[in-house]
Amino acid sequence: MRVTVEELGSEIEGFIVTFDDITLLVSAQRNAAWADVARRVAHEIKNPLTPIQLAAERLKRKYLKFVGQEEEETFTKYTDTITKNVADIGKMVEEFVSFARMPVPVFKEEDLLSIIKKAIFTSQVACPTIEYKLDAPSQSVYLLCDERQISQVMNNLLKNAAESIEARPEDAPAGVISVVLACENGQIEVSISDNGTGFPEEEPKKVFEPYVTTRSKGTGLGLSIVKKIVEDHKGLIKIDNIKINDSTCGAKVTVSFSTHCDI
Protein backbone atom coordinates (compact mmCIF):
# COMPACT_ATOMS: atom_id res chain seq x y z
CA MET A 1 0.00 0.00 0.00
CA ARG A 2 1.25 3.47 -0.83
CA VAL A 3 -0.14 6.79 0.44
CA THR A 4 0.60 10.06 -1.37
CA VAL A 5 -0.35 13.47 0.02
CA GLU A 6 -1.86 15.99 -2.39
CA GLU A 7 -0.96 19.49 -1.28
CA LEU A 8 -1.91 22.96 -2.46
CA GLY A 9 0.56 25.36 -0.92
CA SER A 10 0.59 24.56 2.78
CA GLU A 11 -2.88 23.03 2.67
CA ILE A 12 -3.50 19.32 2.34
CA GLU A 13 -6.08 18.81 -0.39
CA GLY A 14 -6.35 15.06 0.06
CA PHE A 15 -4.66 11.69 -0.13
CA ILE A 16 -4.10 9.17 -2.89
CA VAL A 17 -3.98 5.57 -1.68
CA THR A 18 -2.88 2.81 -4.09
CA PHE A 19 -2.99 -0.93 -3.51
CA ASP A 20 -0.89 -3.46 -5.40
CA ASP A 21 -1.40 -7.21 -5.16
CA ILE A 22 2.18 -8.52 -5.05
CA THR A 23 1.27 -12.14 -4.25
CA LEU A 24 2.65 -13.47 -7.53
CA LEU A 25 5.81 -11.36 -7.21
CA VAL A 26 6.52 -12.62 -3.68
CA SER A 27 5.79 -16.19 -4.77
CA ALA A 28 8.17 -15.86 -7.74
CA GLN A 29 10.91 -14.42 -5.50
CA ARG A 30 10.45 -17.23 -2.98
CA ASN A 31 10.57 -19.89 -5.70
CA ALA A 32 13.71 -18.34 -7.17
CA ALA A 33 15.39 -18.42 -3.76
CA TRP A 34 14.36 -22.06 -3.18
CA ALA A 35 15.56 -22.98 -6.67
CA ASP A 36 19.00 -21.64 -5.81
CA VAL A 37 19.00 -23.69 -2.58
CA ALA A 38 17.92 -26.80 -4.52
CA ARG A 39 20.69 -26.30 -7.06
CA ARG A 40 23.34 -26.07 -4.34
CA VAL A 41 21.96 -29.05 -2.39
CA ALA A 42 21.80 -31.21 -5.53
CA HIS A 43 25.40 -30.35 -6.41
CA GLU A 44 26.73 -31.18 -2.93
CA ILE A 45 24.79 -34.46 -2.59
CA LYS A 46 25.23 -35.80 -6.11
CA ASN A 47 29.03 -35.98 -6.13
CA PRO A 48 29.55 -38.71 -3.47
CA LEU A 49 26.57 -40.89 -4.46
CA THR A 50 28.22 -42.81 -7.31
CA PRO A 51 31.40 -43.73 -5.37
CA ILE A 52 29.26 -44.93 -2.43
CA GLN A 53 27.11 -47.12 -4.66
CA LEU A 54 30.08 -48.53 -6.57
CA ALA A 55 31.93 -49.25 -3.33
CA ALA A 56 28.94 -51.15 -1.91
CA GLU A 57 28.56 -53.21 -5.09
CA ARG A 58 32.28 -54.04 -5.20
CA LEU A 59 32.30 -55.05 -1.53
CA LYS A 60 29.45 -57.46 -2.18
CA ARG A 61 30.99 -58.89 -5.34
CA LYS A 62 34.52 -59.25 -3.93
CA TYR A 63 34.01 -60.35 -0.33
CA LEU A 64 30.69 -62.25 -0.34
CA LYS A 65 32.49 -65.49 -1.20
CA PHE A 66 34.78 -65.09 1.83
CA VAL A 67 31.90 -64.66 4.26
CA GLY A 68 30.68 -67.76 6.06
CA GLN A 69 27.22 -69.12 5.34
CA GLU A 70 25.92 -67.88 8.68
CA GLU A 71 26.96 -64.29 7.88
CA GLU A 72 26.21 -64.34 4.15
CA GLU A 73 22.60 -63.18 4.55
CA THR A 74 23.58 -60.40 6.97
CA PHE A 75 26.44 -59.20 4.73
CA THR A 76 24.12 -59.12 1.70
CA LYS A 77 21.48 -57.27 3.71
CA TYR A 78 23.96 -54.58 4.73
CA THR A 79 25.29 -53.98 1.21
CA ASP A 80 21.78 -54.01 -0.28
CA THR A 81 20.67 -51.48 2.34
CA ILE A 82 23.48 -49.12 1.31
CA THR A 83 22.61 -49.51 -2.39
CA LYS A 84 18.88 -49.00 -1.80
CA ASN A 85 19.33 -45.87 0.30
CA VAL A 86 21.79 -44.40 -2.19
CA ALA A 87 19.15 -44.95 -4.90
CA ASP A 88 16.53 -43.20 -2.72
CA ILE A 89 18.84 -40.22 -2.22
CA GLY A 90 19.47 -40.19 -5.97
CA LYS A 91 15.74 -39.82 -6.59
CA MET A 92 15.61 -36.89 -4.18
CA VAL A 93 18.50 -35.25 -6.01
CA GLU A 94 16.60 -35.66 -9.29
CA GLU A 95 13.68 -33.77 -7.75
CA PHE A 96 16.03 -31.01 -6.58
CA VAL A 97 17.45 -30.71 -10.10
CA SER A 98 13.97 -30.73 -11.68
CA PHE A 99 12.83 -27.93 -9.37
CA ALA A 100 15.99 -25.86 -9.81
CA ARG A 101 16.24 -26.19 -13.60
CA MET A 102 12.70 -26.44 -14.84
CA PRO A 103 13.09 -26.17 -18.63
CA VAL A 104 10.96 -23.84 -20.72
CA PRO A 105 8.01 -25.87 -22.05
CA VAL A 106 7.90 -26.69 -25.76
CA PHE A 107 4.24 -26.63 -26.81
CA LYS A 108 2.78 -29.10 -29.29
CA GLU A 109 -0.66 -30.58 -29.76
CA GLU A 110 -0.57 -33.80 -27.74
CA ASP A 111 -3.08 -36.53 -26.90
CA LEU A 112 -3.76 -35.95 -23.20
CA LEU A 113 -5.72 -39.21 -22.87
CA SER A 114 -2.69 -41.18 -24.10
CA ILE A 115 -0.41 -39.35 -21.62
CA ILE A 116 -2.77 -40.21 -18.75
CA LYS A 117 -3.02 -43.88 -19.74
CA LYS A 118 0.78 -44.20 -19.84
CA ALA A 119 1.09 -42.59 -16.41
CA ILE A 120 -1.56 -44.93 -14.96
CA PHE A 121 0.21 -47.96 -16.44
CA THR A 122 3.53 -46.89 -14.88
CA SER A 123 1.87 -46.35 -11.50
CA GLN A 124 0.10 -49.73 -11.71
CA VAL A 125 3.40 -51.50 -12.29
CA ALA A 126 4.92 -49.77 -9.25
CA CYS A 127 1.85 -50.30 -7.01
CA PRO A 128 0.04 -53.50 -8.14
CA THR A 129 -2.05 -53.74 -4.94
CA ILE A 130 -3.89 -50.47 -5.70
CA GLU A 131 -6.97 -50.44 -7.95
CA TYR A 132 -6.91 -47.80 -10.69
CA LYS A 133 -10.07 -46.47 -12.35
CA LEU A 134 -10.18 -44.27 -15.45
CA ASP A 135 -13.27 -42.34 -16.55
CA ALA A 136 -12.53 -40.61 -19.85
CA PRO A 137 -14.00 -39.97 -23.32
CA SER A 138 -13.61 -42.81 -25.81
CA GLN A 139 -11.90 -40.53 -28.32
CA SER A 140 -8.58 -38.68 -28.00
CA VAL A 141 -8.46 -35.36 -26.13
CA TYR A 142 -5.87 -32.99 -27.54
CA LEU A 143 -4.09 -30.28 -25.56
CA LEU A 144 -1.42 -27.76 -26.56
CA CYS A 145 1.30 -28.69 -24.07
CA ASP A 146 4.79 -29.98 -23.38
CA GLU A 147 4.29 -33.77 -23.33
CA ARG A 148 7.23 -34.51 -21.03
CA GLN A 149 6.17 -31.92 -18.46
CA ILE A 150 2.49 -32.92 -18.45
CA SER A 151 3.59 -36.56 -18.07
CA GLN A 152 5.61 -35.45 -15.06
CA VAL A 153 2.50 -33.77 -13.60
CA MET A 154 0.44 -36.97 -13.95
CA ASN A 155 3.24 -39.20 -12.64
CA ASN A 156 3.81 -36.96 -9.60
CA LEU A 157 0.10 -36.77 -8.74
CA LEU A 158 -0.38 -40.53 -9.08
CA LYS A 159 2.76 -41.15 -7.01
CA ASN A 160 1.47 -38.84 -4.27
CA ALA A 161 -1.90 -40.60 -4.28
CA ALA A 162 -0.24 -44.02 -4.02
CA GLU A 163 2.03 -42.89 -1.17
CA SER A 164 -0.98 -41.45 0.67
CA ILE A 165 -2.74 -44.83 0.40
CA GLU A 166 0.37 -46.69 1.59
CA ALA A 167 0.56 -44.41 4.65
CA ARG A 168 -2.79 -45.66 5.99
CA PRO A 169 -3.16 -48.21 8.81
CA GLU A 170 -2.80 -51.87 7.87
CA ASP A 171 -6.51 -52.58 8.42
CA ALA A 172 -7.61 -49.84 6.00
CA PRO A 173 -9.82 -50.81 3.03
CA ALA A 174 -8.30 -51.59 -0.37
CA GLY A 175 -6.56 -48.66 -2.03
CA VAL A 176 -8.32 -47.04 -4.98
CA ILE A 177 -7.16 -44.22 -7.26
CA SER A 178 -9.71 -42.72 -9.62
CA VAL A 179 -8.76 -40.56 -12.62
CA VAL A 180 -11.43 -38.56 -14.44
CA LEU A 181 -10.80 -36.69 -17.70
CA ALA A 182 -13.53 -34.32 -18.89
CA CYS A 183 -13.66 -31.83 -21.74
CA GLU A 184 -16.50 -29.33 -22.11
CA ASN A 185 -17.15 -25.60 -22.60
CA GLY A 186 -13.58 -24.98 -23.73
CA GLN A 187 -12.11 -26.52 -20.58
CA ILE A 188 -10.11 -29.71 -20.12
CA GLU A 189 -10.19 -31.00 -16.56
CA VAL A 190 -8.28 -33.88 -15.00
CA SER A 191 -9.09 -34.96 -11.44
CA ILE A 192 -7.21 -37.60 -9.45
CA SER A 193 -8.91 -38.92 -6.30
CA ASP A 194 -7.69 -41.44 -3.74
CA ASN A 195 -8.83 -42.97 -0.47
CA GLY A 196 -5.58 -42.20 1.31
CA THR A 197 -4.80 -39.98 4.28
CA GLY A 198 -5.82 -36.70 2.63
CA PHE A 199 -4.22 -33.26 2.87
CA PRO A 200 -3.46 -31.53 6.19
CA GLU A 201 -6.54 -29.69 7.48
CA GLU A 202 -4.56 -26.64 8.57
CA GLU A 203 -3.50 -24.42 5.66
CA PRO A 204 -3.68 -27.14 2.96
CA LYS A 205 -2.35 -24.74 0.30
CA LYS A 206 1.05 -24.88 2.02
CA VAL A 207 1.61 -28.25 0.33
CA PHE A 208 2.44 -26.30 -2.83
CA GLU A 209 5.33 -24.50 -1.13
CA PRO A 210 8.83 -25.93 -1.67
CA TYR A 211 10.09 -28.37 0.97
CA VAL A 212 6.71 -28.67 2.71
CA THR A 213 5.82 -32.35 3.11
CA THR A 214 3.79 -34.56 5.43
CA ARG A 215 5.76 -37.73 4.59
CA SER A 216 8.96 -38.86 6.28
CA LYS A 217 10.71 -39.64 2.96
CA GLY A 218 9.24 -36.76 0.95
CA THR A 219 11.27 -33.85 -0.36
CA GLY A 220 8.31 -31.47 -0.51
CA LEU A 221 9.06 -30.66 -4.16
CA GLY A 222 6.57 -32.88 -6.01
CA LEU A 223 3.55 -30.57 -5.78
CA SER A 224 5.74 -27.46 -6.19
CA ILE A 225 6.96 -28.83 -9.52
CA VAL A 226 3.39 -29.77 -10.51
CA LYS A 227 2.11 -26.26 -9.71
CA LYS A 228 4.94 -24.61 -11.66
CA ILE A 229 4.28 -26.75 -14.74
CA VAL A 230 0.51 -26.18 -14.59
CA GLU A 231 1.00 -22.41 -14.27
CA ASP A 232 3.46 -22.42 -17.22
CA HIS A 233 0.64 -24.04 -19.23
CA LYS A 234 -1.80 -21.28 -18.11
CA GLY A 235 -3.73 -23.85 -16.11
CA LEU A 236 -5.19 -24.03 -12.61
CA ILE A 237 -4.70 -26.61 -9.86
CA LYS A 238 -6.99 -27.18 -6.89
CA ILE A 239 -6.79 -29.58 -3.95
CA ASP A 240 -9.59 -30.87 -1.71
CA ASN A 241 -10.16 -33.39 1.03
CA ILE A 242 -13.13 -35.58 0.13
CA LYS A 243 -15.45 -37.93 1.98
CA ILE A 244 -15.84 -41.22 0.14
CA ASN A 245 -18.24 -42.85 2.61
CA ASP A 246 -19.06 -42.73 6.33
CA SER A 247 -15.78 -44.39 7.31
CA THR A 248 -13.39 -43.44 4.49
CA CYS A 249 -11.93 -40.09 3.42
CA GLY A 250 -9.33 -39.16 0.87
CA ALA A 251 -7.89 -36.44 -1.32
CA LYS A 252 -8.69 -34.98 -4.73
CA VAL A 253 -6.46 -32.92 -7.02
CA THR A 254 -8.02 -31.17 -10.00
CA VAL A 255 -6.00 -29.71 -12.86
CA SER A 256 -7.75 -27.68 -15.55
CA PHE A 257 -6.61 -26.14 -18.83
CA SER A 258 -8.33 -23.92 -21.35
CA THR A 259 -8.51 -25.26 -24.90
CA HIS A 260 -8.69 -21.65 -26.14
CA CYS A 261 -5.66 -20.44 -24.20
CA ASP A 262 -3.11 -18.51 -26.28
CA ILE A 263 0.17 -19.90 -24.94
183-216: pLDDT as tens digits: 988 899 999 999 988 887 765 566 776 655 655 5
pTM beyond cutoff 0.85: no
Specify the pLDDT at position 147.
92
Q: Are 258 and 145 in contact (CB under 8 A)?
A: no
Quickly list DSSP for the chain. Answer: -EEEEEEETTEEEEEEEE----HHHHHHHHHHHHHHHHHHHHHHHHHHHHHHHHHHHHHHHHHGGGS-HHHHHHHHHHHHHHHHHHHHHHHHHHHHHHHHT-PPP--EEEEHHHHHHHHHHHHHHH-TTSEEEEE--SS--EEEE-HHHHHHHHHHHHHHHHHHHHTS-TTSPPPEEEEEEEEETTEEEEEEEESSS---SSSGGGGGSTT--SSTT--S-HHHHHHHHHHHTT-EEEEEEEE-SSS-EEEEEEEEEETT---
Specify the pLDDT at position 210.
60
Same domain, 74 and 91: yes
The model's pLDDT over 67-92, given as tens digits with 9 standing for 90+, comes to 777 788 888 888 888 888 888 787 77
Same domain, 172 and 62: no
> What percent of the chain clears pLDDT 70, i.e. is strictly above it?
83
The model's pLDDT over 156-190, given as tens digits with 9 standing for 90+, comes to 899 989 988 988 888 888 899 999 999 988 899 99
**Domain interval for residue 197:** 108-258
Same domain, 121 and 92: no
Evaluate if residue 135 carries a pLDDT over 90.
yes
Single out the residue of 240, 113, 114 nearest to residue 183, CA to CA.
113
Specify the pLDDT at position 47.
76
The structural domain count of the chain equals: 2
Same domain, 231 and 163: yes
7, part of any domain: no
Specify the pLDDT at position 212.
56
Specify the pLDDT at position 26.
75
16, part of any domain: no
51 vs 104, which has greater pLDDT? 51
Domain boundary among 35, 67, 100: 100
Domain boundary among 40, 69, 100: 100
